[in-house]
Chains A and B, each alone.
Chain A
Amino acid sequence: MTSELVDFTLVSVALLGIGIYGLAVKRNFIRMLFAVEIIINAANLNIVAFGRFLPHSGGQTMALFSIAIAAAEVAVGLSLIIVAYRMYQNVDIADFRSLKG
Protein backbone atom coordinates (compact mmCIF):
# COMPACT_ATOMS: atom_id res chain seq x y z
CA MET A 1 0.00 0.00 0.00
CA THR A 2 1.54 3.27 -1.06
CA SER A 3 -1.10 5.77 0.01
CA GLU A 4 -0.43 7.32 3.39
CA LEU A 5 -2.83 7.90 6.24
CA VAL A 6 -2.61 11.66 5.74
CA ASP A 7 -3.97 11.36 2.17
CA PHE A 8 -7.13 9.71 3.40
CA THR A 9 -7.56 12.27 6.17
CA LEU A 10 -7.18 15.09 3.65
CA VAL A 11 -9.92 13.63 1.44
CA SER A 12 -12.05 13.30 4.55
CA VAL A 13 -11.43 16.93 5.49
CA ALA A 14 -12.40 18.04 1.97
CA LEU A 15 -15.66 16.08 2.17
CA LEU A 16 -16.38 17.53 5.63
CA GLY A 17 -15.87 21.06 4.27
CA ILE A 18 -18.20 20.42 1.33
CA GLY A 19 -20.84 18.98 3.63
CA ILE A 20 -20.69 21.95 5.99
CA TYR A 21 -20.95 24.30 3.02
CA GLY A 22 -24.10 22.46 1.92
CA LEU A 23 -25.63 22.62 5.39
CA ALA A 24 -24.90 26.34 5.67
CA VAL A 25 -26.03 27.48 2.23
CA LYS A 26 -28.79 25.20 0.99
CA ARG A 27 -32.36 25.60 2.15
CA ASN A 28 -33.70 22.55 0.34
CA PHE A 29 -34.48 19.83 2.89
CA ILE A 30 -33.38 17.03 0.53
CA ARG A 31 -30.09 18.74 -0.30
CA MET A 32 -29.37 19.25 3.41
CA LEU A 33 -29.86 15.49 3.83
CA PHE A 34 -27.30 14.98 1.03
CA ALA A 35 -24.87 17.19 2.95
CA VAL A 36 -25.40 15.18 6.15
CA GLU A 37 -24.74 11.98 4.20
CA ILE A 38 -21.49 13.39 2.84
CA ILE A 39 -20.34 14.37 6.35
CA ILE A 40 -21.18 10.89 7.73
CA ASN A 41 -19.22 9.28 4.90
CA ALA A 42 -16.23 11.51 5.60
CA ALA A 43 -16.31 10.35 9.21
CA ASN A 44 -16.53 6.68 8.16
CA LEU A 45 -13.55 7.10 5.84
CA ASN A 46 -11.53 8.58 8.69
CA ILE A 47 -12.50 5.78 11.08
CA VAL A 48 -11.56 3.01 8.63
CA ALA A 49 -8.30 4.74 7.64
CA PHE A 50 -7.14 5.08 11.25
CA GLY A 51 -8.22 1.51 11.96
CA ARG A 52 -6.14 0.30 9.02
CA PHE A 53 -3.00 2.08 10.10
CA LEU A 54 -3.11 1.17 13.80
CA PRO A 55 -3.92 -1.70 12.77
CA HIS A 56 -6.95 -2.72 14.80
CA SER A 57 -10.22 -4.38 13.83
CA GLY A 58 -12.19 -1.92 15.96
CA GLY A 59 -12.12 0.67 13.20
CA GLN A 60 -13.95 -1.50 10.71
CA THR A 61 -16.42 -2.69 13.34
CA MET A 62 -17.16 0.91 14.28
CA ALA A 63 -17.62 1.84 10.61
CA LEU A 64 -20.13 -0.98 10.16
CA PHE A 65 -22.13 0.26 13.16
CA SER A 66 -21.96 3.80 11.80
CA ILE A 67 -23.23 2.74 8.35
CA ALA A 68 -26.18 0.89 9.90
CA ILE A 69 -27.13 3.83 12.15
CA ALA A 70 -26.88 6.19 9.17
CA ALA A 71 -29.33 3.97 7.29
CA ALA A 72 -31.81 4.36 10.16
CA GLU A 73 -31.25 8.13 10.17
CA VAL A 74 -31.93 8.40 6.45
CA ALA A 75 -35.14 6.40 6.72
CA VAL A 76 -36.47 8.72 9.43
CA GLY A 77 -35.20 11.84 7.63
CA LEU A 78 -36.89 10.91 4.37
CA SER A 79 -40.19 10.17 6.09
CA LEU A 80 -39.93 13.57 7.82
CA ILE A 81 -39.40 15.13 4.38
CA ILE A 82 -42.53 13.38 3.11
CA VAL A 83 -44.60 14.56 6.10
CA ALA A 84 -43.34 18.14 5.79
CA TYR A 85 -43.93 18.15 2.05
CA ARG A 86 -47.49 16.93 2.60
CA MET A 87 -48.12 19.69 5.13
CA TYR A 88 -46.53 22.63 3.31
CA GLN A 89 -46.34 21.46 -0.34
CA ASN A 90 -42.73 22.64 -0.33
CA VAL A 91 -39.26 21.43 0.58
CA ASP A 92 -37.88 24.87 1.52
CA ILE A 93 -36.95 24.80 5.19
CA ALA A 94 -37.70 28.52 5.51
CA ASP A 95 -41.37 27.58 5.11
CA PHE A 96 -41.36 25.07 7.93
CA ARG A 97 -41.99 27.56 10.69
CA SER A 98 -45.04 26.33 12.55
CA LEU A 99 -42.88 25.68 15.63
CA LYS A 100 -41.61 29.27 15.60
CA GLY A 101 -42.76 31.28 18.60
Chain B
Amino acid sequence: MAEAVFLALAVITIGSAIAALELRSLIYGSIALMGTLGGIAGFFFLLDAPFVALFQLAVYVGSIAVLILFTVMLVKRELIFKKIEDKRRKFVGIGLMLVIMVSLGAVFLDSGIKTITTDEPSPNFRDIGIDFVTYYWPALILMGLLLAGSVTGALVLAKREDVENDQRAS
Protein backbone atom coordinates (compact mmCIF):
# COMPACT_ATOMS: atom_id res chain seq x y z
CA MET B 1 0.00 0.00 0.00
CA ALA B 2 2.68 2.45 1.03
CA GLU B 3 4.69 1.50 -2.05
CA ALA B 4 1.76 2.34 -4.34
CA VAL B 5 1.30 5.69 -2.61
CA PHE B 6 5.03 6.34 -2.92
CA LEU B 7 5.04 5.52 -6.63
CA ALA B 8 1.99 7.70 -7.30
CA LEU B 9 3.55 10.59 -5.40
CA ALA B 10 6.84 10.16 -7.27
CA VAL B 11 5.05 10.21 -10.63
CA ILE B 12 3.00 13.29 -9.67
CA THR B 13 6.02 15.15 -8.29
CA ILE B 14 8.46 14.46 -11.11
CA GLY B 15 5.84 14.75 -13.87
CA SER B 16 4.58 18.09 -12.68
CA ALA B 17 8.14 19.33 -12.20
CA ILE B 18 8.78 18.60 -15.87
CA ALA B 19 5.43 20.17 -16.78
CA ALA B 20 6.23 23.31 -14.77
CA LEU B 21 9.32 23.87 -16.90
CA GLU B 22 8.00 22.69 -20.26
CA LEU B 23 4.37 23.82 -20.54
CA ARG B 24 3.97 26.72 -22.94
CA SER B 25 1.77 28.82 -20.70
CA LEU B 26 3.37 30.25 -17.58
CA ILE B 27 0.04 30.10 -15.73
CA TYR B 28 -0.31 26.36 -16.27
CA GLY B 29 3.37 26.09 -15.43
CA SER B 30 2.87 27.69 -12.05
CA ILE B 31 -0.14 25.45 -11.38
CA ALA B 32 2.06 22.45 -12.23
CA LEU B 33 4.67 23.82 -9.80
CA MET B 34 1.93 23.72 -7.16
CA GLY B 35 1.60 20.00 -7.97
CA THR B 36 5.32 19.48 -7.37
CA LEU B 37 5.21 21.31 -4.05
CA GLY B 38 2.12 19.38 -2.95
CA GLY B 39 3.79 16.11 -3.94
CA ILE B 40 6.77 16.97 -1.76
CA ALA B 41 4.31 17.62 1.09
CA GLY B 42 2.93 14.12 0.47
CA PHE B 43 6.45 12.70 0.76
CA PHE B 44 6.79 14.48 4.10
CA PHE B 45 3.60 12.75 5.25
CA LEU B 46 5.07 9.40 4.16
CA LEU B 47 8.21 10.22 6.17
CA ASP B 48 6.11 10.66 9.34
CA ALA B 49 6.76 14.40 9.42
CA PRO B 50 3.21 15.83 9.41
CA PHE B 51 4.30 19.12 10.96
CA VAL B 52 6.77 19.84 8.17
CA ALA B 53 4.21 18.65 5.61
CA LEU B 54 1.57 21.07 6.82
CA PHE B 55 4.17 23.85 6.99
CA GLN B 56 5.08 23.05 3.40
CA LEU B 57 1.43 23.13 2.34
CA ALA B 58 0.79 26.42 4.12
CA VAL B 59 3.96 28.22 3.01
CA TYR B 60 4.61 26.82 -0.46
CA VAL B 61 1.25 25.80 -1.90
CA GLY B 62 -0.65 28.42 0.05
CA SER B 63 1.48 31.53 -0.30
CA ILE B 64 4.46 31.14 -2.63
CA ALA B 65 2.50 29.57 -5.48
CA VAL B 66 -0.18 32.24 -5.22
CA LEU B 67 2.50 34.95 -5.16
CA ILE B 68 4.03 33.46 -8.32
CA LEU B 69 0.59 33.34 -9.99
CA PHE B 70 0.00 37.01 -9.23
CA THR B 71 3.43 37.94 -10.59
CA VAL B 72 2.72 35.99 -13.78
CA MET B 73 -0.53 37.94 -14.15
CA LEU B 74 1.41 41.22 -14.10
CA VAL B 75 3.40 40.16 -17.17
CA LYS B 76 2.22 40.93 -20.71
CA ARG B 77 -0.07 38.40 -22.33
CA GLU B 78 2.19 37.47 -25.21
CA LEU B 79 5.14 36.95 -22.89
CA ILE B 80 3.12 34.46 -20.82
CA PHE B 81 2.59 32.23 -23.83
CA LYS B 82 6.00 32.70 -25.46
CA LYS B 83 8.60 30.04 -24.84
CA ILE B 84 11.96 31.70 -24.25
CA GLU B 85 14.81 29.24 -24.32
CA ASP B 86 18.13 28.57 -25.93
CA LYS B 87 17.62 25.98 -28.66
CA ARG B 88 21.33 25.22 -28.82
CA ARG B 89 21.55 24.71 -25.10
CA LYS B 90 18.57 22.36 -24.98
CA PHE B 91 20.48 19.16 -25.76
CA VAL B 92 23.36 20.23 -23.54
CA GLY B 93 20.85 20.78 -20.73
CA ILE B 94 19.24 17.39 -21.23
CA GLY B 95 22.71 15.79 -21.27
CA LEU B 96 23.65 17.60 -18.06
CA MET B 97 20.41 16.42 -16.43
CA LEU B 98 21.04 12.82 -17.44
CA VAL B 99 24.67 12.95 -16.30
CA ILE B 100 23.63 14.29 -12.88
CA MET B 101 20.80 11.80 -12.50
CA VAL B 102 22.82 8.77 -13.58
CA SER B 103 26.00 9.61 -11.70
CA LEU B 104 24.38 10.68 -8.42
CA GLY B 105 21.84 7.86 -8.67
CA ALA B 106 24.60 5.30 -9.23
CA VAL B 107 26.51 6.69 -6.26
CA PHE B 108 23.44 6.44 -4.03
CA LEU B 109 22.56 2.95 -5.25
CA ASP B 110 26.10 1.78 -4.73
CA SER B 111 26.57 3.31 -1.31
CA GLY B 112 25.65 1.90 2.05
CA ILE B 113 22.43 3.88 2.48
CA LYS B 114 20.50 1.03 0.86
CA THR B 115 20.88 -0.93 4.06
CA ILE B 116 19.73 1.83 6.39
CA THR B 117 16.41 0.98 7.97
CA THR B 118 14.89 2.10 11.21
CA ASP B 119 12.28 0.77 13.58
CA GLU B 120 12.47 3.71 15.95
CA PRO B 121 9.54 6.11 16.12
CA SER B 122 9.79 9.34 14.20
CA PRO B 123 10.74 12.48 16.14
CA ASN B 124 7.47 14.24 16.89
CA PHE B 125 6.58 17.92 16.86
CA ARG B 126 7.28 18.24 20.57
CA ASP B 127 10.98 17.53 19.91
CA ILE B 128 10.96 20.08 17.09
CA GLY B 129 9.43 22.73 19.34
CA ILE B 130 11.97 22.06 22.07
CA ASP B 131 14.74 22.27 19.45
CA PHE B 132 13.46 25.61 18.24
CA VAL B 133 13.33 27.30 21.63
CA THR B 134 16.43 25.78 23.18
CA TYR B 135 19.30 24.97 20.86
CA TYR B 136 18.23 26.93 17.79
CA TRP B 137 16.84 30.09 19.41
CA PRO B 138 19.46 32.48 17.94
CA ALA B 139 18.80 31.04 14.51
CA LEU B 140 15.06 31.46 15.06
CA ILE B 141 15.47 35.15 15.92
CA LEU B 142 17.80 35.65 12.96
CA MET B 143 15.26 33.97 10.70
CA GLY B 144 12.52 36.31 11.89
CA LEU B 145 14.74 39.34 11.25
CA LEU B 146 15.67 37.99 7.82
CA LEU B 147 12.03 37.45 6.86
CA ALA B 148 11.11 40.96 8.01
CA GLY B 149 14.07 42.40 6.13
CA SER B 150 13.32 40.51 2.95
CA VAL B 151 9.66 41.52 2.92
CA THR B 152 10.65 45.15 3.50
CA GLY B 153 13.26 44.88 0.77
CA ALA B 154 10.74 43.39 -1.63
CA LEU B 155 8.30 46.22 -0.93
CA VAL B 156 11.00 48.87 -1.42
CA LEU B 157 12.18 47.22 -4.66
CA ALA B 158 8.70 46.96 -6.14
CA LYS B 159 7.71 50.52 -5.24
CA ARG B 160 7.16 52.77 -8.24
CA GLU B 161 9.00 56.05 -8.04
CA ASP B 162 7.67 57.55 -11.23
CA VAL B 163 4.06 57.64 -10.03
CA GLU B 164 3.08 60.28 -7.50
CA ASN B 165 0.58 59.59 -4.79
CA ASP B 166 -2.16 61.81 -6.27
CA GLN B 167 -1.78 60.08 -9.66
CA ARG B 168 -2.14 56.71 -8.03
CA ALA B 169 -5.43 57.68 -6.43
CA SER B 170 -7.06 58.60 -9.71
Measuring CB to CB, which residues of chain A are less than 8 angstroms from any residue of chain B? 1-11, 13-22, 24-28, 30-31, 33-35, 37-38, 41, 44-45, 48-49, 51-61, 63-65, 67-76, 78-83, 85-86, 89-92
Contact = CB atoms under 8 A, between A and B. Distances in A.
Interface of B: 2-3, 6, 10, 13-14, 17-18, 20-21, 26, 29-30, 33, 36-37, 40, 43-44, 46-49, 51-52, 55-56, 59-60, 63-64, 67-68, 71-72, 74-76, 79, 83-86, 89-90, 92-94, 96-98, 100-101, 104-105, 108-109, 113-114, 116-118, 120-123, 127-128, 131-132, 136, 139, 143, 146-147, 150-151, 153-155, 157-158, 160
A10 B100 CA distance: 11
Nearest to A44: B40
Contacts of A54: 118
B128 A17 contact: no
Contact of B55 (A13, A25, A67): A67
A25 B49 contact: no
7 contacts: A7-B10, A31-B29, A45-B40, A67-B55, A71-B63, A78-B154, A82-B71
Given A48-B44, A52-B47, A76-B153, A31 B21 contact: yes
